[in-house]
Amino acid sequence: MDKITNVIAIDGPSGTGKSSITKAIAKKYNFFHVNSGSLFRALALYINEKFDLEEILRKTPDEVYELLKTIKVDYQKIPIFIVALDGEDYSERLYSHEVSDLTSKVSGHAGVRRKVDQTQREIVAKSEMVCLVEGRDIGTVVFPDARLKFFLTASAEVRGQRRFDQLKDKDKLGDLSLDQIIKDIEERDERDSTRVIAPLKKADDAIEIDTTKLNFDEVMSQFENIIEDKMKDVL
């Protein structure tokens, strides 16, 4: 199996439904789901706990990469989801609002991105399955030659409501208001889309799907139709 052309890239900002759709597609077609966000989140937690974060952010890309390059990453989706760095399992701590904000700051550093990009390519190289790789720059930077690319979008208001509901369901909302979550999403979008290194943008050959007014089944149907048309030989 060609390790590059059998990658499906799914990009887009947070709250557009990437993770839910990617999980469902992976399950339906027996694809391997690689979530770059979980890798960035785990690495952000690792950096915040092992180093002085502000000092790390002031270092050069080469200096940061040298600190991170030997970290052993254990990433599994089958049979259960595990993200472990140097043997420490971060899986249950990745999806608080605070970690989201921390990750947005750390992920813009070129040294951090180099480590995550390298890790994703290693995961794909080891897999014997079609890989669904989900993130913000998969189709433009990490796997520019991916066989199939999607770019999901949605309004900040809808994405904020989804995030609010998700945190509430997991009893992790705390004192956060819907307005604060929407504001944070807008600020994160600005950071992600204007950063010098690997900015969030749609690849020229990506298929864009706006999920603002679509329910899960409608989005899933669009994905299924496209995948079954473009990937017949591997289904």
Q: Give the chain's domains with CATH numbers.
A: 7-220 (3.40.50.300)
Average pLDDT, the chain: 91
The average pLDDT across 87-102 equals: 88
pLDDT at 164: 93
DSSP string, 128-183: SS-EEEEESSIIIII-TT-SEEEEEE--HHHHHHHHHHHHHHTT--TT--HHHHHH
Q: pLDDT (tens digit, 9 = 90+) per residue, 106-133?
A: 988 999 999 999 999 999 998 889 999 9
pLDDT at 1 over 50: no
Ranking 61-70, 93-102, 156-165, 169-178 by mean pLDDT, the lowest is 93-102
Token pair 């940061």 is found at: 64
